């Protein structure tokens, strides 16, 4: 069997694996939401029984739980996440369509920034192994991993928005400057991880036999690094990039709330607080689908970058 056929069969098996994975995810989320205390129409002031009954009948909450489950499965198969319980006259599909482009913009920019900076400083640290540059880069990387973004965000707001006045502190409307702080906040921990992965992998590749052979031929150092060493050194980064990209692209709940950004994370938090079953389930299923798809793409990218990987029948 040729390498191309093996890759295609592997891709087909991975695609078929999406179905049971998503089914398990939908099942877990559905029943976890139902066993959580409270309901979507609970409030400080109790509704009259007849109004409560009418609302539950309107959204099929008066049906047996298993019947609600299969009804929801049928809706998901039609790519319909149903109406929102709290955002009146809005469907979950419309809320996702409104919030996802915002999260995608911020997460996509953070991903690009993370790759450019993380790979660059990781390669620099590897080339200066056990020197002050290496220790400095790895020290900042450890700091970036250790400090959570809900600490970084207020510090950046305080320094760059409140004291310096260079950038706006939050919001979405008003130009590209409002993207700077949330993008940096999202990117910093990812830059740290990518830098550490790139450094470790690059050091290992630089000590491999084919790099020694390339240097023995008298090739320039720049050509050895960028022409021979960088591609295999990025393989661990590519493997890690699937869930990392999904986490960035789908947006950060904390970052979106701190910077008052109307992305999917904000809708998810508000839906959870309001017991908005359909909104929370719709966002989680959408997130899960996106993570699975991105991991699938990264898997194929890994095969393309590493021709020695072959997928056979077994």
* Residue 251: per-residue pLDDT: 61
- Which structure tokens are listed for 178? 């409002």
Query: Residue with structure tokens 């007849």?
Result: 50
Instruction: Find all residues with CB under 8 Å of 282, minimum gap 6, and list them.
Output: 81, 82, 92, 93, 95, 96
Other beta carbons within 10 angstroms of residue 158's beta carbon come to: 12
Triad 194, 258, 84: Cα angle to 5°: 105
Q: Which DSSP symbol is given to 162?
A: I
pTM of the shown model: 0.80
- Domain assignments of the chain as residue spans, ordered by start: 1-314
Widest distance between CA atoms in the chain = 86
What is the sign, positive or negative, of the torsion defined by CA atoms of 232, 237, 242, 246? negative
* Residue 11: per-residue pLDDT: 64
Residue 131 phi, psi dihedral angles, 5° rounding: -115, 170
How many H helices and E strands in the chain? 14, 0
3-state secondary structure of 126: helix
Q: Which DSSP symbol is given to 274?
A: T
3-state secondary structure of 288: helix
Query: Residue with structure tokens 């940096």?
Result: 184
Return d(Cα 314, Cα 311) in angstroms, integer. 8
Q: Which DSSP symbol is given to 89?
A: T
Rg (alpha carbons) of the chain, rounded to whole number: 24
Per-residue pLDDT tens, the chain, 314 aa: give them.
455 555 566 666 666 777 788 888 889 888 887 777 666 666 555 667 777 777 777 777 777 889 888 988 888 888 888 888 878 788 899 998 988 888 888 888 999 999 999 999 999 999 888 889 888 988 888 888 888 888 888 888 988 888 888 888 887 877 788 889 999 999 998 999 999 999 999 998 888 888 888 888 887 878 888 888 888 888 888 878 877 887 777 667 778 888 888 888 878 888 877 778 888 888 888 888 888 887 777 777 776 666 555 544 43
* Homologous superfamily (CATH) for 1-314: MetI-like (1.10.3720.10)
- Which structure tokens are listed for 194? 């990518």
Instruction: Find all residues with CB under 8 Å of 305, minimum gap 6, and list them.
Output: 231, 232, 234, 235, 238
Other beta carbons within 10 angstroms of residue 210's beta carbon come to: 12
Q: How far is CA 229 from CA 203, 209, 287, 289, in A?
A: 9, 11, 34, 34
Q: Which DSSP symbol is given to 157?
A: I
What is the sign, positive or negative, of the torsion defined by CA atoms of 302, 307, 312, 314? negative
- Which structure tokens are listed for 143? 């700091």
63 conformational bin, left if phi > 0, alpha if psi -120 to 50, beta if neither? beta
- H helices of 207-263, in order, are 209-216, 221-223, 230-233, 235-249, 253-258
Return d(Cα 234, Cα 112) in angstroms, integer. 15
Return d(Cα 246, Cα 243) in angstroms, integer. 5
């Amino acid at each position: 069997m040729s390498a191309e056929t093996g890759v295609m069969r592997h891709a087909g098996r991975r695609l078929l694996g999406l179905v049971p994975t998503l089914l398990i995810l939908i099942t877990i989320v559905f029943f976890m939401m139902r066993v959580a205390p409270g309901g979507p129409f609970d409030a400080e002031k109790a509704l009259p029984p007849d109004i409560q009954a009418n609302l539950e009948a309107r959204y099929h909450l008066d049906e047996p739980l298993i019947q609600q489950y299969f009804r929801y499965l049928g809706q998901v198969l039609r790519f319909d996440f149903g109406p929102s319980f709290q955002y009146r006259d809005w469907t979950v599909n419309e809320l996702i369509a409104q919030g996802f482009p915002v999260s995608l913009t911020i997460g996509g920019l953070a991903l690009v920034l993370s790759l450019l900076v993380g790979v660059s400083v990781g390669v620099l640290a590897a080339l200066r192994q056990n020197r002050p540059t290496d220790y400095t880069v790895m020290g900042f990387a450890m700091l970036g991993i250790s400090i959570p973004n809900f600490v970084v965000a207020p510090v950046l707001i305080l320094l760059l928005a409140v004291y310096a006045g260079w950038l706006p502190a939050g919001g979405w409307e008003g130009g590209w400057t409002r993207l700077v702080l949330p993008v940096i906040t999202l990117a910093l921990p990812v830059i740290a991880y990518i830098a550490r992965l790139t450094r470790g992998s690059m050091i290992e590749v630089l000590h491999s036999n084919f790099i020694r052979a390339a240097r023995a031929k008298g090739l320039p150092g720049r050509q050895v690094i960028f022409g021979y060493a960088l591609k295999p050194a990025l393989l661990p980064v590519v493997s890690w990039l699937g869930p990392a990209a999904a986490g960035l692209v789908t947006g950060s709940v904390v970052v979106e709330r701190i910077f008052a950004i109307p992305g999917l994370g904000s809708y998810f938090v508000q839906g959870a607080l309001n017991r908005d079953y359909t909104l929370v389930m719709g966002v989680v299923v959408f997130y899960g689908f996106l993570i699975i798809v991105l991991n699938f793409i990264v898997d194929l990218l890994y095969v393309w970058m590493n021709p020695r990987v072959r997928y056979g029948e077994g």
